[in-house]
Amino acid sequence: MAKKRVVLAYSGGLDTSVIVRWLTDRGFEVITYTADVGQGEELDYIPEKAKLAGAVEAIVEDVREEFAREYCLPTLRALALYECKYPLTASLSRPLISKKLIEIAKKVGADFVAHGSTGKGNDQVRFEVSAWALAPDVEVLAPVREWEFKSREEEIEYAKRHGIPVPVTKEKPYSIDRNLWGVSIEAGVLEDIWQEPPKDAWQITVDPEEAPDEPEYVTVTFEEGTPVAVNGRRFEKLYELIEELNKIGGRHGVGRVDMVENRLVGIKSRELYEAPAAFILYKAYDELLSLTTERFTYHYHIEHVRHQYATLVYNGLWFSKQREALDAFNDTLAKDVTGDVRLKLYKGGIWVVGRRSPNSLYVEDLATYSPKDAFDHEAGKFFTKVWGLPLKVAGRVREEREKKNR
Ligand code: ARG
């Protein structure tokens, strides 16, 4: 009988290495897949590690540009923040990785894909729902949810017994997930939600109080809704532009979030996020969007798009018609989002200080208080009269009723 084949999302860490062996022991032929989504780790050693653990093949792929263009950019155009705070860093890489797992599974004739997420997080949902959306018959395996190890020690014991390299460094005090769009940090001492995060928890931003005493100005240029230049320097690759903004923002300590969020599985959990580039781009994009979009449509974006988009991405529904439809809406508005935004970064803060666009709807002779004013002031009188009518009517009826009851 042919062996059962499985494609495993492989990080190179202890858990996923043990999974390789654990699945091999259960009669699987394991092919590992590792995506470079900008996690900032050396990936050259990955194939060797995977094979040492028992993988028959180890695939490593640089998907940074695809991640930037097809996942980060639409989320930027949606200005999506889960619970108005979290720019969805980890939530965005999962659907991409799932898509890749499925593509490889189809190519090599594997009926199974696998991931290393636990049973109490959001990531299992994102991996599995994405996989099923793309390949409804695929079976998804999540060994961490069902295996026998009760502790990390038992896992290490198993690894040692099977010749799987165990990290020599002390166990990291946090669980960290990092990609181009940002870093998520949880667990360890952070589980005491009253305590301020220790300095060493933060990975890519300096403490605001240790940031330079001089502000830094940065200009971001957009063309039809895509950021293309920073301080006049053009970037062909969007991921490189994002990396540059992470560096600039990181040294001013911008883009930090400390929140207790509602996980999809029903628990509240504390997570730190660092996303300097994402927050700078959100501020800049929003500025141009508001400048180039007439009021009704801009308000629709604020009231109906941002929150809905964030919720669906957080909840693992990336490969849904709703996401595609919201993208179509955002792409329509994005066509006018061309221009420059000047921002000031200073000790953890980001301020927009200037904006310009060939599509700007800011009309100076309408806005001005100078003699050049072209606004029809007389129209204001009638406009206000009609606008205020509902409240005036309500006031009149209330007064009459009060008079009667006296
Ligand atoms: N809570 C975040 C989310 O659900 C991040 C999950 C991964 N975080 C981590 N530190 N391992 O999107």
Query: With a 6 A CB cut-off, is 264 part of the ligand 1 pocket?
Result: no
Predicted local distance difference test score (pLDDT) of residue 170: 65
Query: With a 6 A CB cut-off, is 36 part of the ligand 1 pocket?
Result: no
Residue 276's contacts (CB-CB under 8 Å, 6 or more residues apart) are: 182, 204, 205, 245, 246, 248, 249, 250, 252, 254, 255
* Encoded tokens for 300: 């629709």
Q: What are phi and psi of 404, to 5 degrees?
A: -60, -40
Predicted local distance difference test score (pLDDT) of residue 152: 86
Strands across the sheet with 182-186, in order?
A: 175-179, 182-186, 268-274, 256-262
Q: Using the mean position of ligand 1's atoms as its centre, give its distance from the Cα of residue 120 in Å.
A: 11
The helix or strand, by DSSP H or E, that contains position 176, with its residue range, turns out to be strand 175-179
Q: Using the mean position of ligand 1's atoms as its centre, give its distance from the Cα of residue 253 in Å.
A: 21
Task: Using the CB atoms, write b or e for 208-228: b if 16+ within 10 Å.
Answer: eeebeeebbebbbbbeebbbb
Catalytic residue among 69, 175, 251, 327: 175
**By C-alpha distance, which of 71, 286, 43 is closest to 182?**
71
Predicted local distance difference test score (pLDDT) of residue 169: 65
Query: With a 6 A CB cut-off, is 122 part of the ligand 1 pocket?
Result: yes
Predicted local distance difference test score (pLDDT) of residue 172: 74
DSSP assignment string, 54-80: T-SEEEEEE-HHHHIIIIIHHHHHHT-
User: Could you list the mean pLDDT of each consecutive 10-residue stretch along the chain, which spans 406 residues?
Assistant: 88 95 96 97 94 96 98 98 97 98 97 96 97 98 94 91 81 90 96 97 97 98 98 98 98 98 97 98 98 98 98 98 98 98 98 98 94 93 97 98 94
Cα distances (Å, whole numbers) of residue 127 to 9, 62, 175, 240: 10, 19, 18, 26
CB atoms within 10 A of CB 364: 11
Cβ-contact 331, 77 below 8 angstroms = yes
Alpha-carbon dihedral angle through residues 363, 365, 366, 368, given to the nearest 10 degrees:
110
Query: With a 6 A CB cut-off, is 175 part of the ligand 1 pocket?
Result: yes
Helix 238-251 to helix 276-292 angle (10° resolution) is 110
Strands across the sheet with 233-234, in order?
A: 233-234, 226-230, 216-223, 339-346, 349-356
| Residue in the structure block whose two tokens are 């960290």 | 176
pLDDT digits (tens, 9 = 90+) for 135-187: 999 999 999 999 999 888 899 999 999 999 887 666 678 999 999 999 999 99
Query: With a 6 A CB cut-off, is 39 part of the ligand 1 pocket?
Result: no
Question: Catalytic annotation on 94?
Answer: yes
Q: Using the mean position of ligand 1's atoms as its centre, give its distance from the Cα of residue 41 in Å.
A: 18
Chain centroid offset of residue 180 CA: 9
pLDDT digits (tens, 9 = 90+) for 186-236: 999 999 999 999 999 999 999 999 999 999 999 999 999 999 999 999 999
**What domains lie within the chain, and their CATH numbers?**
4-63+87-161 (3.40.50.620), 175-293+336-356 (3.90.1260.10), 364-404 (1.20.5)
pTM of the model as a whole: 0.96
CB atoms within 10 A of CB 52: 17
∠ at Cα 86 (63, 102), nearest 5°?
Answer: 35
Predicted local distance difference test score (pLDDT) of residue 337: 98
